[in-house]
Amino acid sequence: MISPKPKGTDMTHPPSRRPLALAAAALLLASTVAAASPGGPGGPRGGPGMGGPATSGAMVEQVIEGLRDKLSLDSAQQAMFDSAHSQTIAARDRMLASRADIRSKVQAELAKPEPDLAAVSAILEAAEEQGRSLRHQARDQWLKVYASLRAEQKVIVRDELKARMARMDAMQERMKERKPARHS
């Protein structure tokens, strides 16, 4: 009597690669759209571990914006602040509006019997680059606001940045302490 072959060893019908390709494209889409969002994966208000301080100046923007009242801006500084704030909102709105277009292009490619993942990747990389460019433009405006501050105003910003970094470091330490406990 001939024993049946174990499941998955019959090579006469190779497994379809489409599910794998779709999964890879979905993962690529999710990661790139997150990266293309304002301020990186955490959005404009992302916290530690969600974009962090290196997200194209998002921390500088948040600090200066949060200290608006404490900084007692003069009229020229206020005008620069308002311009930077408006540019940040416009950049965010442009990125949010482009998400629907990106999504429809990727979905159209994935709807094909054999989607071109290189095309999907190119679409997502272009969106990521556009988002990065918009974030850098907004960041540069916030850096101009900072440059316009008087020495005592810059001390206020510096102290707040130091305090935030200390809070992030403390949170990271707490997360490290919890990590071994989760896997026990």
What residue segments make up the domains of the chain, in order of their start? 56-167
The confidence band for 12, taking pLDDT boundaries of 50, 70 and 90, is low
- C-beta neighbour count of 84 within 10 angstroms: 22
Number of DSSP helices (H) and strands (E) in the chain, helices first? 6, 0
Residue type at 23 in one-letter notation: A
What does the alpha-carbon distance between residue 18 and residue 168 come to, in Å, rounded to a whole number?
42
Residue 150, token pair as written in the block: 């008087």
The pTM assigned to this predicted structure is 0.62
- Say what the alpha-carbon torsion angle 22, 26, 29, 31 is, to the nearest 10 degrees: -140
Measured on CA atoms in the order 174, 169, 164, 47, is the torsion positive or negative?
negative
Give the tens place of pLDDT for each residue, 66-113. Answer: 999 999 999 999 999 999 999 999 999 999 989 989 999 999 999 999
